[in-house]
Chains A and B, each alone.
Chain A
Amino acid sequence: MSEGVKKVSGNGRKMIELMSPAGSLEGAKLAFDAGADIVYAGVKNLSMRPKRVEFDQNLGELIDYAHGRGRKVYATTNVCPKPSDIPLFEKRMAEVSALGADAVIVSDPWVMEHVRDNYPDLPIHASIMTSVVNAEAARFYKERGAGMVVVSRSLGDLDEIRRIKDEVNVDLEVFVHGGICYMYDGDCYMSSYWRQKRDFDPDLGVFRLFGQNNTKGECQLICKRDCALTADGEELAKGRLMRRPDDVGLDRLPAYIDIGVRVLKIEGRAMSLNYIAEATKLYRQAIDLYYVDPERWTMLEEWRPAIDQLIEERLDYEKTWHIG
């Protein structure tokens, strides 16, 4: 386990950590260069993103690279295993533990207990896919072994996040920037309703189902598409009705720090290298400035062009993103 290099600010306060997405080794290096304390990286076939942005043999290389610089890697294994996936999960958890990942991000409670019971030195984080929106749910996952809980992106209520932190002795992680789903994470089945197919998976050497968001991480971005709302044959509204604006949580930074949130997380493992680097730079600067003078910290106008550029890039990405 490594210790991050930016743990304590100049005035002695424990600093909030910044976590960036890693869709490739190159992306992870850029994120670290831009100031990320941690990157999260998908484990092959087990994470909620396309296979092309997951790590396989190179996960160990990433972990070694990060640890060599005092940074951390959280291994993302947050799909829900179906019965046939159980052996694969057991195998991968052993590998992730042996590689020395700093934590494993999980959504299924059995997987949590499996890690807790078999790899006690591997910290467990309850994934965004658990949709934690209340303190009782955070307690449930803590009892399964989670030391960190990622609160739902749809919670949107700082008081509720504070209540979870105050009532449950567990670290919290929040998504602070990036794309955001129309549905509660982990409770969306639109992709597989639209399209699912049984096909040969050369990676696993078996036939399996593709197009399942909850179980296989192959979201089809249904909520980002054009649609029409109709009733009795009449069109009531048209457009990207389910699309939510990108989350830009810079202005919430002081509140998150005040609440005691441990990690701020940038979304976007499938985004470009430039996107990851620029988003990381932006939030790194904001965090560092906060700790220099918390009382006078404010949103800077000079950040606006960078924010606009990030939003623009995501819109372009959504227009072209198709996996099947």
Chain B
Amino acid sequence: MIPMSLSIEFVACLPNKKTFEGVDAGGFADIFDGFYLGQPYCLKSAGNFLCNHDDLRAVVGALRGLGKKAYLTTPAISKGKDLTMVRKAITAAVAAGIDGIEAHDVGVFRILRNEFPGVPAHVGNFANVYNEKTAALYKRLGAARIAPSNELTGEELAIVTAVEGVEFARPVHGPLPLGMAYACLLRRAGDGETVDPCRQQCATEHFMELDGWRMRSVGTSVLMGEDYCLVEHLAGLLSAGVSTMRLETYFDFPERITALGKIYRRALDDALAGRAADREQIAAVRALTTAGLCNGWHFGQSGREYVGRGEKSVG
């Protein structure tokens, strides 16, 4: 049963203006309700909204003009020396009319509540909200939206989302983060002697291969080796009270973001109408990935396994 009061948002993540322009060129009006702007893993990533505030202002303005939501994410780890930049990015976003700002670091969350009290504060997954008591605490502290830990199973998620008066978000697709590294592995692997500028390295998909399984490396973060996929299980998320469904597309090409968006939008509409996901949808998602699919910890399995309707597999 989907709660009647649930106001659903379907969003994607855009690291920079170039990606936004690509998605815009493909047309997103009928697909996405909004976007999280900024790349939280590396401030040096090309065109990152967090460091390119003119781009940020322009895209927030464009989205508002289209009647779409614009949110800013912030770094997963914010060292003290980075907080000046974080404050500048928040200030620019607020001036442009941002609809909410996501904090992974509790220090950034505190800045949001104390220095920008009028802006809805979202608690990101790196804040490690694992239970309903902690969710209630963040609500009391003024959080408008919480992304509980991705490590929670669907059953555990439903307990956490029972907390009233705050929205809950859940990724539904894309390689989820497996950690924040202390230094960029792509630079470190070459003893710091990178042949290409670091941004060029990031444009290439890198894998960490470990004894028959793998993860992605994007330098400062390690991501799932497979693409996380809940396209078959959106109805369960809605029943649990998850109101924001999010494509984790920080490293995707615009064309694929649009293509995935179309599939998930249809699946979401089906779920809202009480129609079960069909085989075509999962087949369409599979066709868009070469890395295989998993659905993380949603069913209590190892994160790299895939549990579908009547199937369980690795990759």
Contacts and interface: CB of A to CB of B under 8 A. Distances in A.
Contacts of B210: 194, 222, 225-227
A109 B211 contact: no
Nearest to B224: A193
Contacts of A138: 107
B106 A193 contact: no
Interface stretch (B44-52, B90-98, B200-208, B262-270): B200-208
Nearest to A236: B189
Given A81-B130, A83-B132, A241-B185, A139 B180 contact: no
Given A137-B106, A193-B304, A81 B207 contact: no
A307 interface: no
Given A86-B133, A196-B303, A214-B151, A188 B178 contact: yes
A154 B76 CA distance: 14
B192 interface: no
A237 interface: yes
A184 B77 contact: yes
Given A140-B107, A154-B182, A183-B179, A82 B130 contact: yes
A154 B150 CA distance: 23
B128 A186 contact: yes
Q: At the interface, is chain B mostly helix, strand, loop or mixed? A: mixed
A200 interface: no
Contacts of A237: 189-190
Contact of A82 (B105, B131, B211): B131
A174 to B, nearest CB: 15
A133 B106 CA distance: 10
B222 interface: yes
A184 B180 contact: yes
A134 B151 contact: no
Contact of A136 (B83, B128, B207, B297): B83
B185 A242 contact: yes
A194 B296 CA distance: 10
B238 to A, nearest CB: 20
A295 interface: no
Contact of A229 (B108, B179, B217): B217
Interface in B181-214: 181-182, 185-186, 188-190, 204-211, 213
B149 A80 contact: yes
A83 B156 contact: yes
Given A83-B159, A192-B303, A231-B206, A183 B151 contact: no
B101 to A, nearest CB: 14
Given A113-B137, A135-B107, A229-B207, A209 B79 contact: no
A20 interface: no
Interface stretch (A8-16, A155-163, A311-319): A155-163
Interface string A139-181: 1110000000000001111001001100000000000000001
B310 interface: no
A45 B131 CA distance: 17
Interface residues of A, number: 67
B131 A83 contact: yes
B86 to A, nearest CB: 9
A7 interface: no
A197 to B, nearest CB: 7
Given A136-B107, A231-B207, A80 B128 contact: yes
Contact of A212 (B83, B126, B151, B190): B151
B83 A194 contact: no
A134 B179 contact: no
B80 A211 contact: no
B308 interface: no
A108 B83 CA distance: 23
B275 to A, nearest CB: 30
Nearest to B213: A194
B215 interface: yes
Nearest to A79: B130
A194 B181 contact: no
A192 B300 CA distance: 10
A192 B177 CA distance: 12
Interface in A47-100: 80-86
Contacts of A113: 137
Contact of B134 (A108, A140, A183, A192): A108
Interface of B: 76-83, 105-111, 126, 128, 130-134, 136-137, 149-153, 156, 159-160, 177-182, 185-186, 188-190, 204-211, 213, 215, 217, 222, 224, 296-297, 300-304
Given A214-B151, A215-B149, 5 more contacts: A81-B131, A83-B131, A110-B136, A188-B179, A222-B210
Nearest 9 interchain pairs by C-beta: A136-B107, A137-B107, A193-B303, A183-B179, A154-B182, A188-B179, A237-B189, A110-B133, A134-B80
